[in-house]
């Protein structure tokens, strides 16, 4: 039975929610984070049947709110063993010459700076205990640039660089750092990218079988269950129909 405490950002939908559900089955204690409080509460109520759960509602863009929320945890809950930096989204899919500044700010502020703000609060707990596991959710978009991906890709290349940087700097403390880089996963991701346009979002996965959020949760659990001397450093996971960021086989 796993006794570790895992803090998951972006637990209100998609990959984060599926990971919370799977880790609950394996008895990790869970700190579920996201902005949508009702969803957090509903998920927590569901999972409380299986494990210990608490929730923190904050916007990862707001450094003070991030710090306040995490510091508000009771002492027992502060001993975070696993940090899953998952909160993030693409905003827009426009060529660089017509992209929106608001979209660019959102992606850099959430995907990159948000990940840093959360990590800044948790890493000292791990360094002082000389143990811990950080899992950063990157993307195939952080390995290859695709047309119109520009700033989203840049934000995920930054996540990849930060993952590698964390692994180097945290090496003296015995902290594991894993980068997981999914291809197309059907979640609320495309709905957010296209600002609620369901029609546009549904065409993204037309004629192929995308990954499910549960597929990524499985990989996260697998990397958490590796023996103490093993770290799964860098994992790219694609649907079988996807060969690269831009090459997809559709029926």
Give the CA count within 13 Å in the CB-facing half-sphere of 201: 16
Q: Residue 37 or residue 128: which is nearer to ligand NDP going by CB?
A: 37
| Cβ 27 vs Cβ 39: under 8 Å | no
For residue 245, the partner it binds in ligand 8X3, ligand NDP, none, with Cβ less than 5 to 8 A by kind, is: ligand 8X3
Binding mask 115-154 for ligand NDP (x = CB under 6 A): ----------------------x-x---------------
Judged by CB under 6 A, the stretch of 46-54, 122-130, 182-190, 238-246 that binds ligand NDP is 182-190
Q: What is the CA radius of gyration of the chain?
A: 17
| Cβ 116 vs Cβ 136: under 8 Å | no
For residue 16, the partner it binds in ligand NDP, ligand 8X3, none, with Cβ less than 5 to 8 A by kind, is: ligand NDP
Query: How many residues line the site for ligand NDP (CB under 6 A)?
Result: 29
Q: What is the DSSP string of the chain?
A: ----EEEESSTTSHHHHHHHHHHHHTT-EEEEEES-HHHHHHHHHHHTTTS-EEEEE--TT-HHHHHHHHHTS-HHHH---EEEE----------TTT--HHHHHHHIIIIIIIHHHHHHHHHHHHHHHT--EEEEE--GGGTS--TTTHHHHHHHHHHHHHHHHHHHHTGGGT-EEEEEEE--EESSHHHHHTTT-HHHHHHTTTTS--EEHHHHHHHHHHHHTS-TT----EEEE--TTBSSSS-B---
The only residue of 80, 88, 135, 158 in contact with ligand NDP, by rule CB under 6 A: 88
Q: Residue 155 or residue 223: which is nearer to ligand 8X3 going by CB?
A: 155
Q: Which residue is nearest to ligand NDP (CB)?
A: 14
Residue 238 touches ligand 8X3, criterion: CB under 6 A: no
The yes-or-no answer on residue 152 being catalytic is yes
Residue 158 touches ligand NDP, criterion: CB under 6 A: no
What angle is formed at CA 97 by the lines to CA 91 and CA 103, rounded to 5 degrees? 20
Q: Residue 58 or residue 152: which is nearer to ligand 8X3 going by CB?
A: 152
The only residue of 29, 139, 150, 223 in contact with ligand 8X3, by rule CB under 6 A: 139
Residue 179 touches ligand NDP, criterion: CB under 6 A: no
Q: In 10 A of CB 1, how many CB atoms? A: 6
Judged by CB under 6 A, the stretch of 45-53, 80-88, 168-176, 239-247 that binds ligand NDP is 80-88
Q: Residue 76 or residue 209: which is nearer to ligand NDP going by CB?
A: 209
Minimum CB separation from ligand NDP for residue 145, in Å?
14
Catalytic residues: 152
Q: Where along the sequence are the contacts to ligand NDP (CB under 6 A)?
A: 9-16, 34-36, 59-61, 86-89, 110, 137, 139, 182, 184-185, 187-189, 192, 213
Q: Where along the sequence are the contacts to ligand 8X3 (CB under 6 A)?
A: 139-141, 149, 183-184, 245
């Amino acid at each position: 039975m796993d006794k570790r405490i895992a803090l998951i950002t972006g637990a209100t939908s998609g990959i984060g929610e599926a990971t919370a559900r799977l880790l609950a089955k394996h008895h990790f204690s869970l700190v579920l984070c996201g902005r949508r409080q009702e969803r957090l509460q509903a998920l927590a109520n569901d999972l409380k049947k299986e494990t210990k759960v608490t929730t923190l509602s904050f916007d990862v863009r707001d450094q003070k709110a991030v710090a306040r929320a995490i510091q508000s945890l009771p002492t027992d809950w502060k001993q975070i063993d696993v940090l899953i930096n998952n909160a993030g989204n693409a905003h827009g899919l426009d060529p660089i010459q017509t992209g929106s500044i608001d979209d660019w700010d959102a992606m850099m502020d959430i995907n990159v700076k948000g990940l840093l703000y959360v990590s800044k609060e948790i890493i000292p707990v791990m360094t002082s205990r000389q143990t811990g596991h950080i899992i950063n959710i990157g993307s195939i978009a952080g390995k290859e640039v695709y047309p119109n991906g520009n700033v989203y890709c840049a934000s995920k290349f930054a996540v990849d660089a930060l993952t590698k940087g964390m692994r180097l700097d945290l090496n003296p403390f015995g902290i594991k750092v894993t980068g997981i880089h999914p291809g197309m996963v059907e979640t609320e991701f495309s709905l957010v990218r296209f600002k609620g346009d369901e029609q546009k979002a549904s065409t993204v996965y037309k004629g192929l079988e995308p990954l499910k959020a549960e597929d990524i949760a499985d990989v996260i659990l697998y990397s958490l269950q590796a023996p103490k001397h093993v770290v799964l450093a860098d994992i790219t996971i694609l649907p079988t129909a996807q060969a690269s960021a831009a090459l997809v086989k559709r029926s």
